[in-house]
């Protein structure tokens, strides 16, 4: 933790606002509450942190940032939706400015989780998180559908299904309404993992990394007639797919997401920017591992 805070403050001192102007928010920790949950322990997901420790780390970060150009940055924590709906973790919600939710219907293998169910599963989880947030904004900090890999119950990885998920959850629903970070620009290099969520595939190095996505990200007209859709208010919208190799992002207007029975999207997320800067319009994550 101390090393990460030192690295952050050193970057602020060295690069100043050319760095800090790119920062949308700081996440103190990532999926730490999930890791100490029964499911996280069963899945051998690694070392987590309890609410009291996360709150202590948040205090350390705020102290370190006092008087810097990031002193007013919005601070949050990223976790799974069912960690946020667990009442024993509410103290973390009280300590942060925004909640980040990582939600993958693909991994919900104890439920009917085919691509046909994915939209409903996703927004049910998001709305449950929003309901537990005490009025604070909920950002989509990770989501996506794998392009290849093993089947999880009814969830089949494929380019076609990944595009369907992008179109329905992203283009027709989240983009322009909820701050969104898509997983992931490039999943791994040079070996393709199982499952793989990468939009650009794998490459031995950055110089040979393609800038052409594996499926169409242009957000063609998509119309949905479903009963579950976003239910929170978000100020500003950034849809971003990020990896250590770069950032694919779409930006659009501020708006309020309601709960219509039919939503549609035209080209609201059709302008794609491929950037070599990992932090361009991306969330800088602090203390992802404690």
Active site residues: 31, 142
User: What is the distance between the alpha carbons of residues 197 and 207, in angstroms, rounded to a whole number?
Assistant: 20
Neighbouring residues of 83: CB distance < 8 A, sequence distance ≥ 6: 31, 33, 34, 37, 89
Neighbouring residues of 225: CB distance < 8 A, sequence distance ≥ 6: 261, 262
User: What is the distance between the alpha carbons of residues 14 and 232, in angstroms, rounded to a whole number?
Assistant: 37
User: What is the distance between the alpha carbons of residues 218 and 221, in angstroms, rounded to a whole number?
Assistant: 9
Kindly give the pairing relationship between strand 255-256 and strand 180-182: unpaired
Q: Which of 85, 88, 113, 97 is nearest to 61 (CA)?
A: 97
User: What is the distance between the alpha carbons of residues 208 and 224, in angstroms, rounded to a whole number?
Assistant: 38
Q: How far is CA 32 from CA 52, 124, 207, in A?
A: 12, 22, 34
* Greatest C-alpha distance within the chain: 51
User: What is the distance between the alpha carbons of residues 136 and 173, in angstroms, rounded to a whole number?
Assistant: 19
Q: Determine the length of the chain.
A: 290
């Amino acid at each position: 933790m101390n090393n990460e805070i030192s690295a952050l403050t050193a970057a602020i001192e060295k690069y100043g606002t050319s760095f800090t102007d790119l920062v949308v928010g700081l996440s103190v920790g990532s999926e730490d509450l999930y890791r100490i949950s029964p499911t996280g322990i069963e899945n051998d997901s690694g070392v987590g942190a309890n609410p009291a420790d996360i709150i202590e780390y948040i205090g350390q970060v705020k102290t370190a940032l006092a008087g810097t150009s990031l002193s007013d940055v919005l601070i949050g924590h990223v976790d799974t939706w069912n960690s946020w709906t667990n009442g024993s973790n509410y103290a973390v919600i009280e300590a942060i400015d925004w909640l980040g939710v990582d939600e993958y219907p693909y991994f919900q293998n104890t439920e009917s989780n085919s691509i046909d169910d994915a939209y409903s599963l996703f927004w049910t989880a998001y709305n449950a998180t929003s309901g537990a947030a005490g009025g604070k904004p909920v950002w989509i900090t990770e989501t996506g559908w794998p392009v290849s890999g093993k089947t999880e119950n009814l969830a089949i990885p494929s380019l076609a299904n990944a595009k369907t998920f992008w179109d329905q959850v992203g283009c027709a629903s989240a983009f322009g309404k909820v701050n969104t970070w898509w997983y992931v620009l490039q999943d791994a290099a040079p070996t393709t993992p199982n499952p793989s969520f990468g939009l650009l595939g794998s490459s031995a190095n950055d110089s040979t990394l393609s800038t052409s996505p594996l499926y169409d990200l242009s957000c063609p007209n998509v119309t949905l007639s479903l009963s579950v859709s976003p239910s929170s208010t978000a100020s500003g919208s950034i849809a971003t797919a990020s990896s250590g190799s770069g950032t694919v992002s779409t930006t659009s207007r501020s708006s309020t997401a309601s709960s219509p029975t039919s939503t549609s999207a035209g080209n609201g997320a059709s302008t794609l920017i491929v950037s070599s800067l990992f932090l361009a319009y991306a969330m800088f994550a602090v203390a992802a591992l404690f």
